[in-house]
Amino acid sequence: MSSPSEAAAPPIAKRVLVIHYSQTGQLGSVAERIVAPLRDDPAIAVHVETLRPVRPFPFPWGFIRFFDAFPETAHMKPPALQPLALTGEEDFDLVILPYQVWFLAPSQPITAFLKHPVAARLLEGKPVVTVIACRNMWHLAHEKLKGLLAAIDARLIDNVVLTDPGPTLATFFTTPAWLVWGRKRGFWGMPDAGLEPGQIARTVRFGRALRDALHQGLERGTAPLLAGLGAVNANARLLVSEKAGTRSFFLWGKLLMAAGGPGAWQRKPLLVLYVLFLLALIVTVVPVSLTLQALLRPLLRGWLTRMTAHFEWPSGSATDRSHLYDD
């Protein structure tokens, strides 16, 4: 016989799936902040599916291991995952998919999940909210992730993007220092790596908006649930650099995979050579492309406007509803 408290408990009305993989813990903090209002609602059940590669990725990575991950990442050849807790027969009303950007592509564990047969059954026809926490170059990675979602007929209804607030050139050095050696504190006058605590704290507004949208059944529609909350600010000026980097990762990745699999000793000399090439690319292509775009901005204004709108879809950068959900 049920107790009075059990009898009074409201029935579960909505079920939310959260896909979890956070190497440094930063993305996990973002996801937890967003999910908190859903957990606190007794009418919403939250299931967190934690992804565990068979061969775990360490943190800090170490120099060689870090760069050794880029060939398979760029070619979207994911590692095997340990068995998932879900079978694919479960039914969810909403899916929250936080992910990291590795080498201008979705992280390997997220790619592995989206190519897993269980994901194809779980996400088919389901509304998906993606959440990105990264350095600042995420645009082409998100295009790849959209392709993975489309391949399993999932519905992308929102995208949240949080980026490192540091200057672009500085983050080329501070982010790898954090990932490779675990050094998050800034050096040589550069800022700390990663998101600021305030950025993470303010993401609770997205969880509150999702909670309200679920109660109204808005996830069944086609309109974004997070419009008007400043979910994403695209920087189309970085696209030239992203395209150059993506092509570089793809071509060199093909060469490295031909030399051997992940961890093969034959890769190491090529990886060192590639790092030198990458440094040259960073100090030449990135500043040159940004300078040229600044000079040609009047001619590029229409293109930049179109690209910004494309990458800010579907949630957008408007903030007209933020006052409803901010503290």
pLDDT of the residue at 2:
46
Report the candidate in 290, 276, 287, 288 with the shortest Cα–Cα distance to residue 248. Answer: 276
pLDDT of residue 3 exceeding 70: no
Record the tokens describing residue 92, joined without a space. 């969810």
Backbone angles phi, psi at 168, to 5 degrees: -55, -50
Domains of the chain by range and CATH? 4-234+309-325 (3.40.50.360)
Tally the C-alpha atoms within 13 A of residue 33's C-alpha that lie toward its C-beta: 21
pTM attached to this predicted model: 0.92
Percent of the chain with pLDDT over 90: 77
Mean pLDDT of the chain: 92
Note the pLDDT of residue 9. 56
Average pLDDT over residues 14-28: 96
Q: What are phi and psi of 24, to 5 degrees?
A: -85, -15
212 CB contacts (<8 Å, ≥6 apart)?
none
In the chain, the amino acid numbered 188 is W
β-sheet bridge partners, residue 156? 128
Residues 36, 264: Cα–Cα separation, whole Å:
42
The size of the chain, in residues, is 327
Q: 127-150, pLDDT tens digit by residue?
A: 999 999 999 999 999 999 999 999
Tell me the average pLDDT across 170-178: 89
Residue 198: Cβ-neighbour burial (10 angstroms; 0-12, 13-18, 19+): exposed
Percent of the chain with pLDDT over 70: 96
pLDDT for position 300: 75
User: What is the predicted pLDDT for the residue at 241?
Assistant: 83
Most confident of the following: 123-132, 233-242, 260-269 = 123-132
CB-based contact 96:110 (threshold 8 Å)? no
pLDDT of 192 over the 60 cut: yes
Q: Which residue has the higher pLDDT, 29 or 12?
A: 29
